[in-house]
């Protein structure tokens, strides 16, 4: 049991954790780097402590400084949020050894699911369908070629320790496999300090559908349906929605039961997400399990009227979950757009700089999770997401209309954002019809001249000189960003 939580994160997720803690009567401690001194999570926490300079490896990724901050402030628990140390088994182990509750699964569970090849083997043992491919790591190109011949091209090479599209290569024939193996292995080593790869058959035009689940320490497991994360650019999620346009009651039940079966197989506890690829015939295959709260968790909260952060905290305090699976049904349709400070015209280059003015939409069924404000300077060291815009309505058609209106009323001056890009997606006829998969951005979507014009206009109207500087992100920040296609 604990009564004070240190939040080892920043930005909107730190504020979200503070709110959940406040509602449960828990005290909070914010940690921050020097450049985050004026950040909102520092202002709203009960206590705050500076843990270092701006690069993540000297602050938000520094085990010793975070543990020391917890000990100095007598925090009995650490919530890692997402990114940074959220899925670092070594950090969870250090917390355990220091008598501090790590709000998440056990170090062993993080380690098992963090190694993609290991996770796939464990899920297969739990009778969860997996994508045909290698049994564990492929040690060299020759071994990869043997597996590729067995499952058939195209195949994809993936980093066992990776995510976010890094250390991945699609290979359509043996020549591409030979070239791609070296490139993917080198990229994996540079991004994750682990060059190991595994190989899978490519599922053509799949939906990327994830199941939100939670398990307590009393053996209870529940799932809260799916989130469709198929709208992606370079394996990075842009728009998420629930329910998925392809979902049926029967498919949801099967996928949910399968996800829980996998979680039971590793005795998982806490909030987690099992990610699947769903093919054109609605067959689904395990892709990975995220052992933390997801960026896109708000759409599940809105659609199912639950508080996943509070549940996560309660599980860590040893409380028993009291849901009944038959009562857990989506009550709303919910959509999320991630608003990033990025220049669409420059290949989505991050644009740190000063926000001169900001107006966010409101009204029933509109939620904005953010930590920026007028005068806030977006630092060049961290993720470019500045807000999550979430809407809910009774039908998908109503939710789409509400999201379009909300995006039109979302004004950010000073830096370019992805808002015009999101508006273009929301206006695309294939997206409106629910006729999309993970290839949507590459095959069905072409930003119009109007989108480009709006982006350029926004940039000229207020972008500071600071925003034109290249993003000075450390390698650690890239590696610590949301692990999956988050």
Contacts of residue 225, Cβ cutoff 8 Å, sequence gap at least 6: 211, 212, 242, 243, 247, 252, 256, 300, 303, 304, 328, 329, 330
CATH code of the domain covering residue 49: 3.40.50.20
Residue 271: CB atoms within 10 A of its CB come to: 26
| DSSP bridge pairs for 101 | 77
Is the predicted pLDDT of residue 458 greater than 70, yes or no? Answer: no
Q: What are the DSSP E strand ranges found in 75-168? A: 77-79, 101-102, 155-159
| Same domain, residue pair 151 and 192 | yes
Which position among 169, 252, 292, 367 bears the catalytic label? 292
Give the separation between CA 175 and CA 200, rounded to whole angstroms: 17
| Same domain, residue pair 213 and 309 | yes
pLDDT tens for each residue of 181-231: 999 999 999 999 999 999 999 998 999 999 999 999 999 999 999 999 999
SS3 content of the chain, % helix, strand, coil (to 5): 40, 25, 40
- The values of phi and psi at residue 454, to 5°, are -60, -40
pLDDT tens for each residue of 69-111: 999 999 999 999 999 999 999 999 999 999 999 999 999 999 9
Does the residue 480 lie in any domain? no
- 427 upstream amide cis, omega within 30 of 0: no
- Hey, is 289 helix, strand or coil? strand
| Same domain, residue pair 229 and 290 | yes
Does the residue 483 lie in any domain? no
Does the residue 365 lie in any domain? yes
| Same domain, residue pair 333 and 245 | yes
Q: Which domain holds residue 142?
A: 132-201
| DSSP bridge pairs for 201 | 155
Rg of the chain taking only CA atoms, in angstroms: 22
pLDDT tens for each residue of 328-379: 999 999 999 999 999 999 999 999 999 999 999 999 999 999 999 999 999 9
172 alpha carbon, distance to own chain's centre: 28
Does the residue 459 lie in any domain? yes
Is the predicted pLDDT of residue 123 greater than 70, yes or no? Answer: yes
| Same domain, residue pair 196 and 217 | no
Contacts of residue 253, Cβ cutoff 8 Å, sequence gap at least 6: none
Which residue in 74, 69, 59, 71 sits closest to 26, CA to CA? 74
Residue 429: CB atoms within 10 A of its CB come to: 8
Residue 238: CB atoms within 10 A of its CB come to: 21
| Same domain, residue pair 440 and 395 | yes
Looking at the chain, the whole-number percentage of residues with pLDDT higher than 70 is: 92
Residue pair 213/407 in contact (Cβ under 8 Å)? The answer is no
- Hey, is 143 helix, strand or coil? helix
| Same domain, residue pair 196 and 225 | no
Domain count, the chain: 3
| Same domain, residue pair 398 and 432 | yes
Continuous H helices in 193-286: 249-265
| Same domain, residue pair 376 and 430 | yes
- Hey, is 60 helix, strand or coil? coil
Does the residue 474 lie in any domain? no
Give the separation between CA 68 and CA 95, rounded to whole angstroms: 11
Residue 10 falls in the annotated catalytic set: no
Contacts of residue 178, Cβ cutoff 8 Å, sequence gap at least 6: 141, 145
Buried b (16+ CB within 10 A) or exposed e, 444-458: ebebeeebeebbeeb
Q: Write down the pTM of the prediction.
A: 0.88
| Same domain, residue pair 195 and 228 | no
| Same domain, residue pair 197 and 212 | no
Does the residue 419 lie in any domain? yes
Does the residue 463 lie in any domain? yes
CATH code of the domain covering residue 251: 3.30.470.20
| Same domain, residue pair 213 and 138 | no
pLDDT tens for each residue of 230-257: 999 888 899 999 999 999 999 999 999 9
CATH code of the domain covering residue 162: 3.30.1490.20
Does the residue 114 lie in any domain? no
- Picking from 201, 227, 244, the residue at the C-terminal end of a domain is 201
| DSSP bridge pairs for 367 | 390
450/277: higher pLDDT: 277
Residue 476's pLDDT is what?
33
């Amino acid at each position: 049991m604990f009564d004070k939580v240190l939040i080892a994160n920043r930005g909107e997720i730190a504020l979200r954790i503070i709110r959940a803690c406040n509602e449960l009567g828990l005290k909070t401690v914010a940690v921050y780097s020097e450049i985050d001194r004026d950040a909102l999570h520092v202002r709203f926490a009960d206590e705050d402590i500076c843990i270092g300079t701006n690069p993540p490896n000297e602050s938000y990724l520094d085990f010793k400084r975070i543990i020391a901050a917890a000990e100095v402030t007598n925090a009995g628990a650490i919530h890692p949020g997402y990114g940074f140390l959220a899925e670092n088994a070594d950090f969870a182990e250090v917390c355990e050894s220091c008598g501090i509750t790590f709000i998440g699964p056990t170090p062993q569970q993080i380690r098992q699911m963090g190694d993609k090849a290991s996770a796939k083997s464990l899920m297969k043992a739990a009778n969860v369908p997996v994508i045909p491919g290698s049994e564990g790591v492929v040690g060299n190109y020759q071994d990869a070629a043997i597996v590729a011949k067995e499952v058939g091209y195209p195949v994809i090479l993936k980093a066992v320790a990776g995510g976010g599209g890094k250390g991945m290569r699609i290979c359509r024939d043996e020549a591409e496999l030979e070239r791609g193996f070296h490139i993917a292995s080198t990229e994996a080593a540079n991004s994750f300090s682990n060059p190991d790869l595994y190989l899978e058959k490519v599922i053509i035009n799949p939906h990327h559908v994830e199941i939100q689940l939670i398990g307590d320490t009393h053996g209870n497991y529940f799932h809260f349906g799916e989130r469709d994360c198929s709208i992606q650019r370079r394996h990075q999620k842009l728009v998420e929605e629930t329910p998925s346009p392809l979902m049926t009651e029967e498919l949801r039940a099967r996928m949910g039961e399968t996800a829980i079966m996998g979680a039971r197989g590793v005795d998982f506890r806490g909030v987690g997400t099992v990610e699947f690829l769903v093919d054109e015939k609605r067959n689904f295959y395990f892709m990975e399990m995220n052992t933390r709260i997801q960026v896109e968790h708000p759409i599940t909260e809105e659609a199912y009227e639950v508080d996943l952060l509070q549940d996560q905290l309660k599980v860590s305090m040893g409380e028993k979950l009291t849901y009944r699976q038959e009562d857990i049904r989506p009550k709303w349709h919910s959509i999320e757009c991630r608003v990033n400070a990025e220049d669409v015209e420059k290949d989505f280059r991050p644009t740190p700089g000063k926000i001169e003015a900001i107006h966010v939409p409101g009204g029933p069924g509109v939620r904005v999770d953010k930590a920026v404000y007028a005068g806030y300077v977006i630092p060049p060291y961290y993720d470019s997401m500045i807000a999550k815009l979430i809407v809910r309505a009774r039908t998908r058609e109503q939710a789409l209309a509400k999201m379009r209106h909300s995006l039109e009323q979302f004004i950010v001056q000073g830096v370019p954002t992805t808002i015009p890009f999101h508006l273009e997606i929301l206006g695309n006829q294939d997206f409106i019809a629910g006729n999309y998969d993970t290839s949507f951005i590459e095959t069905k979507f072409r930003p119009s001249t109007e989108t480009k014009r709006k982006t350029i206009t926004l940039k000229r109207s207020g972008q500071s000189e600071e925003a034109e500087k290249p993003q000075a992100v450390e390698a650690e920040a890239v590696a610590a960003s949301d692990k999956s296609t988050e």
